Structure 1
């Protein structure tokens, strides 16, 4: 146990002092601070300043109604009547006195518009104006045809549609919203952790092999002890990084709590999530990390140069990418048969079964079966990985093919 702790401490302390760890942690914290102050930065750079649009309404019938519709959108667009020529209006836009120029005319008694701006491309301004003109056009069409505007409004209004869950334990819309937020967080955390820390484990093994330290370690420490010591050492490093980032995010949220009311926080609804959901998130995350970390350590022992790590780690990256994309698809269709089947595949289960557990009512036996399959796979990888690790750490030279697994197993049998 003492040797196990020594290797964990050595792995942790060596990695925590590296420039890559410090730089990535600092960059992540900076990005969080920028995200938290996004609205302030936008205001600073004038993105929320009122956009004044010159409007020439040849019919004198559209502008007032268009102003009312624009005001209901809550946008920062202000329409200002313009009585000069088109050339004068265009000159004002080019001199940046107006954000754009809107020319409105009638065709067959209905409004049509032509918008002039420096870019000319569709933008948030053109989309807002176009959407605001639609109800104005409907009202004018109703008046022209003698139809009551309330009839047009009732036709254009969304159809009333309600849902009733017949399953006793079906989750409500609020529960689904809360689940969606945690699933997003879980997917990205596990995806980033596997890619970043799995690669780090493989790199750490390859670095020690290149310095010939392995030959001493293998003779004094069992392969299983050495492999899992590195896995837990890197896990401790990741935990340190996550805690640092979470604390930075927590203090930022506390400092700007009023600005974060509503919006994305209401959409994710993390405060309404049940305690069991957080427990499932933690368990699936730990199991997913151990699964991929064990595989990464085993593959890392097959290479003797750090340049070869990325090539041999490709299967791990492909597995986690496939799981990630399936899970993203499952967010909109969690009861799909593909999601159900893949939730029992060990390399996909940490993401996909967690998605099912949080967004659907899943029988407890299915959850336990998924847990068992993941744990069994970790145990199998640990047994095979220990043998491959024992033989792989003694392999030098060019080793960037999975065919080297057989060679590593053969070397592990030699005493």
Structure 2
């Protein structure tokens, strides 16, 4: 146990002091900061459009309370054109009479954006009020006439031939979150898979592996490296969790973030979906990291580490692209793939998000992945013992065949 912790500590400390790991941690935060800064700058610099309005007094009085766009009353269309030519306004709105069915809007192509639909909505409301007043309708009668129809939407699921209410469901939001987590998993496995593959390939390339194995068992070294990588992942996720929690607490003092969070109906996600995503994310990262370590033990030097990552990336790409197709419906192939290790962590959360499967199917997939992970880790540790003693420049397949011969000789 002491040697296991020693290996894990060495891997952890080595990467904690490396620029590549810190760039991996800070790059998403820097990207979010840049996006947030651009959004804040746009909010600060964007000014509402200025529109000159030549219209009857009643129309001018009603439009002057608008904040976006802002209307500037003028005595005539000619006066508005002078302001437009001098670039003092972004548009000119001409209304002949209060109940006119059509108006004229002229906008500058180099000015602030003037939305014709917004102006149309405003004028339509004014026209409706003017017509209602001419017909003698009261404000209460007008409000009742314009009252929108309330539509209550209820989502149901079909279970055993019965319709059952599906509470706290939001398929679109869950599908987006599942794909986002799948993409995050792809980035993590690409980064940490490369780290563990480089770690092993560097030791083999320097020809010190035999000396290490003379003092430490191959399985101990293998599990120690994985434990060190797991600690790095935990530190990164923990840092993100702390920053995310801090941003959540300070959201009321950050208008842009608060407005963004309001767009998401968090109550419709449900804790079951969150736990499913976390479970598959952890299993997926562990499975792919072990696979990367196994493939990394088959290369002979650091220059071949990229070759070791090819099988890992191919599997991850298949799983992610299959998850993208889930929203279009799941056929027999997608159904089977959602239970297969390496592919299931990306596909099953997406299927659960769009209500193609229930918690029973999710539990079965989790159990399959967990059992596979335990068996695969034992197999990978045993194979690692033979692989690290094999040096071949003919590729991974040739090294794998050679390692099988070494493994038989070690029995």
Superposition TM-score, scaled by structure 2 size:
0.75
In structure 2, relative to structure 1, the CA distance for the partners of 1:249 and 1:138 (3 Å cut) is: closer
What corresponds to 2:295 in structure 1?
299
In structure 2, relative to structure 1, the CA distance for the partners of 1:384 and 1:130 (3 Å cut) is: same
Q: 1:199 aligns with which of 153, 169, 194?
A: 194
Query: CA contact under 8 A between 1:206 and 1:303: conserved in structure 2?
Result: yes
Indicate yes or no: 2:109 matched with 1:117.
yes
Indicate yes or no: 2:79 matched with 1:80.
no
Residue 413 of structure 1: SS of its match in structure 2? helix
* Residue 239 (structure 1) shift: 0.8
Superposition TM-score, scaled by structure 1 size:
0.74
Residue 195 of structure 1: SS of its match in structure 2? helix
In structure 2, relative to structure 1, the CA distance for the partners of 1:41 and 1:256 (3 Å cut) is: farther
In structure 2, relative to structure 1, the CA distance for the partners of 1:52 and 1:197 (3 Å cut) is: same
Indicate yes or no: 2:45 matched with 1:46.
yes
Q: 1:238 aligns with which of 216, 233, 249?
A: 233
* Residue 237 (structure 1) shift: 0.5
* Residue 401 (structure 1) shift: 4.7
Q: 2 CA distance for matches of 1:113 and 1:337?
A: 56
Q: How does 1:390-409 map to 2 (within 5 A)?
A: 390-396=385-391, 398=393, 400-409=395-404
* Residue 292 (structure 1) shift: 0.7
Q: 1 CA distance for matches of 2:150 and 2:315?
A: 43
Residue 405 of structure 2: SS of its match in structure 1? helix
Indicate yes or no: 2:120 matched with 1:133.
yes
Q: How does 1:152-231 map to 2 (within 5 A)?
A: 160=151, 162-163=153-154, 165=156, 167=158, 170-174=165-169, 176=171, 179=174, 183=178, 186-231=181-226
In structure 2, relative to structure 1, the CA distance for the partners of 1:62 and 1:185 (3 Å cut) is: farther
* Residue 234 (structure 1) shift: 0.8
What corresponds to 1:347 in structure 2?
342
Query: CA contact under 8 A between 2:287 and 2:373: conserved in structure 1?
Result: yes
What corresponds to 2:138 in structure 1?
none
Q: Deviations over 1:234-261 (max 9, x none)?
A: 1111111121222123223323335468
* Residue 116 (structure 1) shift: 1.7
In structure 2, relative to structure 1, the CA distance for the partners of 1:215 and 1:86 (3 Å cut) is: farther
Residue 86 of structure 2: SS of its match in structure 1? helix
Query: CA contact under 8 A between 2:288 and 2:312: conserved in structure 1?
Result: yes
In structure 2, relative to structure 1, the CA distance for the partners of 1:263 and 1:180 (3 Å cut) is: farther
* Residue 34 (structure 1) shift: 5.5
CA RMSD of aligned residues (A): 4.4
What corresponds to 2:322 in structure 1?
326
Q: 1 CA distance for matches of 2:334 and 2:393?
A: 40
Residue 72 of structure 2: SS of its match in structure 1? strand
Residue 298 of structure 2: SS of its match in structure 1? coil
Query: CA contact under 8 A between 1:66 and 1:136: conserved in structure 2?
Result: no
What corresponds to 1:101 in structure 2?
91
What corresponds to 1:2 in structure 2?
2
Indicate yes or no: 2:17 matched with 1:22.
no
Residue 304 of structure 2: SS of its match in structure 1? helix
What corresponds to 1:389 in structure 2?
384
Query: Which consecutive residues of structure 1, in runs of 5 or more, have no partner in the other structure?
Result: none
Q: Deviations over 1:157-210 (max 9, x none)?
A: 889574452546553355657745753553343222112111211111112222
Q: 1 CA distance for matches of 2:216 and 2:408?
A: 16
Query: CA contact under 8 A between 1:201 and 1:297: conserved in structure 2?
Result: yes
Residue 79 of structure 1: SS of its match in structure 2? strand
What corresponds to 2:86 in structure 1?
92
Using the TM superposition, name which of 298-307 and 169-178 deviates more: 169-178
In structure 2, relative to structure 1, the CA distance for the partners of 1:182 and 1:25 (3 Å cut) is: same
Q: 2:312 aligns with which of 316, 324, 331?
A: 316
Q: 2 CA distance for matches of 1:5 and 1:30?
A: 33
In structure 2, relative to structure 1, the CA distance for the partners of 1:407 and 1:139 (3 Å cut) is: farther
In structure 2, relative to structure 1, the CA distance for the partners of 1:319 and 1:158 (3 Å cut) is: farther
Residue 25 of structure 1: SS of its match in structure 2? helix
Q: Deviations over 1:261-286 (max 9, x none)?
A: 86443444446655444433332122
Residue 257 of structure 1: SS of its match in structure 2? helix
Q: Deviations over 1:12-56 (max 9, x none)?
A: 11111111222333444444555667665444x423xx3233446
Using the TM superposition, name which of 392-401 and 279-288 deviates more: 392-401
In structure 2, relative to structure 1, the CA distance for the partners of 1:266 and 1:88 (3 Å cut) is: closer
In structure 2, relative to structure 1, the CA distance for the partners of 1:363 and 1:61 (3 Å cut) is: same
Query: CA contact under 8 A between 2:81 and 2:92: conserved in structure 1?
Result: no
Q: Deviations over 1:361-396 (max 9, x none)?
A: 845542343124323443554355345433432344
Instruction: State the structure with more CA Rg.
Output: 2
Using the TM superposition, name which of 265-274 and 275-284 deviates more: 265-274
